[in-house]
Chain A
Amino acid sequence: MISWMAWTLPVAVFFSVIACILICMTVYEVRSPCVERRGFLPIATTRGDRLFIGLLSSAYVHLVFLGLTDLNLWIPLALSVIWLAVILRWG
């Protein structure tokens, strides 16, 4: 039943992490609803918006590293995590 999905460990980890983030954000949101505010991003954003922007830009960071350099992928990953934290806090 599941075998055709050709699961691999890293992909499974990836989707679990995304699912965890979404669940945590939802719980956090229900516990303490956030207000829209203006950070260093040019538009006013909610927490969810910042998460989306962070994730999408992280994806592009990975693509840039893959496309232009031969560096190990742990580097963009580390960068992305830092970037995500920054954008969630100050974005």
Chain B
Amino acid sequence: MKMSKRKTLGISLYILFVLVPIYWLLNMSFKTNEEILSSLTLWPQHFTLANYEVIFSDPSWYSGYINSMLYVSMNVVITLLVALPAAYAFSRYRFVGDKHLFFWLLTNRMAPPAVFLLPFFQLYSSVGLFDTHIAVALAHCLFNVPLAVWILEGFMSGVPREIDETAYIDGYSFPRFFVRIFLPMIRSGIGVTAFFTFMFSWVELLLARTLTSVEAKPIAAIMTRTVGAAGIDWGVLSAAGALTIIPGLLVIWFVRNHVAKGFALGRV
């Protein structure tokens, strides 16, 4: 009992550490610029929704959210579609070059983005995809697919092989077995993977900014625009920042039980 109290205290302290800067962001988003820059106030003295009004009334702001959501969802779908069969192959079979292929996939997370931006820009321009959502979605696959394969492979290796074999003996074809039996068994893994791909695609800025100009400009890139002549519009910026958290919260809300239930498979 004493132990669990210490644990509760510890976790509460850590969560406090996590939340205080976020509170500060919310706090700023309800303040006027003068108040933000003039003094230290723990809560808004002149509570205002003006910052949010700016965002919801200006299409160049809210379209950023729509663009980001579009390419992020595309990315999650593409990533899961290609990563699921690949992860199955890695977890079940040995084939020529498997380990090296796996490592090569991982190396794609290591490339420093700064210099790769120009080739990326030119590659997607030359195939006519510049400034489309799909271009960003495809580019984000570069770092999300390896991660997805990696996480899914771990989950799939937790499923005993006997299940595959029994299903084949029962006359299931591979696609039917995969969709009807196997996927439901690893759905928590899919949830967790979807969360991670969503997250990394949602927060990435450099590639998304480089590959878009008007039509598909992501919210994070629009935010850098507020660094204008009159200095930074902190209020609007923090309101926009606060809003960027919401879609993520929704996603984590949907997968929370999957993470919480964990790899239920281990207990079967």
Measured CB to CB, the residues of A under 8 A from B are 1, 4-5, 26, 29-30, 33, 48-49, 52
Q: How far is the CA of A42 from the CA of B15 in the complex (A)?
A: 45
A29 is contacted by which of B96, B119, B122 (Cβ under 8 Å)?
B96
Closest to A52 in B: B100
| A48→B126 contact, CB < 8 A | no
A55 to chain B, nearest CB (A): 11
Inter-chain contacts of B176 with A (CB < 8 A)? none
Within the assembled complex, what's the spacing in Å between the Cα atoms of A49 and B98?
11
Nearest-Cβ distance from residue B71 to partner chain A, whole angstroms = 23
- Are the C-beta atoms of A30 and B100 separated by less than 8 Å? no
Q: Would you list which residues of chain B between 62 and 118 have a CB under 8 Å from chain A?
A: 96-97, 99-100
- Give Cα distance in the complex from A29 to B99, angstroms: 14
Binding site for A on B (CB under 8 A): 96-97, 99-100, 119, 122, 126
Contact A48 B122 (CB under 8 A): no
Query: Complex formed: what's the CA distance from A49 to B100 in Å?
Result: 8
In chain B, what residue has the closest Cβ to A27?
Answer: B96
Would you call A26 and B97 a contact (CB within 8 A)?
A: yes
In the complex the two chains form, what is the Cα distance from A33 to B95 in whole Å?
10
Who on chain A is nearest to B98 by CB? A48
Instruction: From the candidates A4, A30, A49, A52, name the one contacting B122 in the complex (CB within 8 A).
Output: A4
Shortest Cβ gap from B228 to chain A (Å): 33
A11 to B126, CA, bound (A): 21
B174 to chain A, nearest CB (A): 23
**CA of A48 to CA of B126, assembled, Å:** 35
Check A1 against B126 for contact (C-beta < 8 Å). yes
Across the A-B interface, the 8 shortest Cβ-Cβ residue pairs:
A4-B122, A29-B96, A48-B100, A1-B126, A26-B96, A30-B96, A4-B126, A48-B97
Query: Cβ of A29 and Cβ of B97 under 8 Å apart?
Result: yes
CA gap between A67 and B48 in the complex, in Å: 59
In whole Å, how far is A53's beta carbon from the nearest beta carbon of chain B?
A: 11
Contact partners of A4 in chain B: CB under 8 A: 122, 126
Nearest A residue (CB) for B121 = A4
Chain B residue numbers with a CB within 8 Å of A49 are 99-100
What is the CB-to-nearest-CB distance from A8 to chain B, in angstroms, rounded to a whole number? 15
Instruction: Output the residue of A1, A33, A48, A49 with the most chain B CB within 10 A.
Output: A48
CB pairs A–B below 8 angstroms (17 shown): A1-B126, A4-B122, A4-B126, A5-B119, A5-B122, A26-B96, A26-B97, A29-B96, A29-B97, A30-B96, A33-B96, A48-B97, A48-B99, A48-B100, A49-B99, A49-B100, A52-B100
B119 neighbours in A (Cβ, 8 Å): 5
- CB neighbours (8 Å) of A1 from chain B are 126
Complexed CA–CA distance, A29 and B98 (Å): 12
- Residues of B within 8 Å of A48, CB to CB, are 97, 99-100
Docked complex Cα distance between A52 and B97 (Å) = 11
Chain A residue nearest in CB terms to B94: A33
Excluding A1-B126, A5-B119, A5-B122, 4 further A-B contacts by CB distance (< 8 Å) are A29-B97, A30-B96, A33-B96, A48-B100
How many Å lie between the Cα of A1 and that of B126 in the bound state?
6
Bound CA span A4–B124, Å: 11
Residue of A nearest to B118 (CB): A4
